[in-house]
Amino acid sequence: MSHVTLRRGQNVLLDDVSWHVEEGQRWIVMGPNGAGKSTLINIAATRAHPTKGNVAILGEVLGAVDVFDLRPSIGLSSTLLAQQVPGGETLKNLVVTAAYGVTGRWREAYEPEDLQRAEQLLARWGIAGYADRKFRTLSEGERKRALIARAMMTDPELLILDEPAAGLDLAGRETLVRSLTQLASDPFAPTPILVTHHVEEIPPNFTHAMLLREGQVIAAGPLETALTEETLSEAFRLPLNVSRNAEGRFSAFART
């Protein structure tokens, strides 16, 4: 993204944001509520267009490409998507419909390989026995896993996860962090972009961070320089103590 601004009415949601993500990097997007994180990743997922500035995704220039051709290469898991899933949808269908860019199975005919891949992904994300369960009957943690399995269905090059740990209990969060750490260490896995509010949710092998506040970039780059006491305190307007343990996990507390 080069000098991207997005306005809605009088509101400036993103203000002159530039961002460069390379294959092999693993990004965290952080910032307080309303900072513009979802807006940023909606652009990255071709769900929104900037008012000003240029965007190229996987080598294609936004505005000069049919986004429906590009979308299968971009896996997306978000709360907005979860809200669009019909409650009676089975997990198997939730995952397999990603191959067709829809939620809610209607009259599409699926190939046996698609169904097999959906089952494999559910197994990979720890919900193998749940293929015929209805989405509305799942716990929050199971829903999050199902949405990530769906995001992986098209074998995307880019994987965007918007707050996948929101609403999970401690064990659920830690299991998810472990799964994301494993995913990030797979050289054939898609380039991940993880939106989060909490440094504790950052998998230790993620490499870069984009820190936003009020639509502007506070810091962007390698974790060591972009996620520091100074940058996080500035982004959240709160003096923070930030530390990283020997395993690479972050924690943050308000200074007393």
Which residues in this chain contact ligand ATP in the complex, by CB under 6 A? 8-9, 11, 13, 31, 33-39
* Inter-CA distances, 56 with 15, 154, 207, Å: 18, 20, 21
Q: Is 252 helix (H, G, I), strand (E, B) or coil?
A: strand
| Closest distance to ligand ATP from the beta carbon of 124 (Å) | 27
Instruction: Please say which residue, 34 or 126, places its beta carbon nearer to ligand ATP.
Output: 34
The Cβ of residue 185 has, within 10 Å, a number of other Cβ atoms equal to: 11
Instruction: Please say which residue, 37 or 208, places its beta carbon nearer to ligand ATP.
Output: 37
Give Cα 132 distance to the centre of its chain.
25
| Closest distance to ligand ATP from the beta carbon of 145 (Å) | 21
Of 123, 120, 145, the closest CA to residue 135 belongs to 145
Instruction: Please say which residue, 38 or 103, places its beta carbon nearer to ligand ATP.
Output: 38
Instruction: Please say which residue, 32 or 126, places its beta carbon nearer to ligand ATP.
Output: 32
Cα angle 240, 244, 245 (rounded to 5 degrees) comes to 135
| Closest distance to ligand ATP from the beta carbon of 29 (Å) | 8
Instruction: Please say which residue, 31 or 164, places its beta carbon nearer to ligand ATP.
Output: 31
> 142 CB contacts (<8 Å, ≥6 apart)?
127, 130
Separation between Cα atoms, residue 42 and residue 29, nearest integer Å: 12
| Closest distance to ligand ATP from the beta carbon of 227 (Å) | 16
| Closest distance to ligand ATP from the beta carbon of 108 (Å) | 31
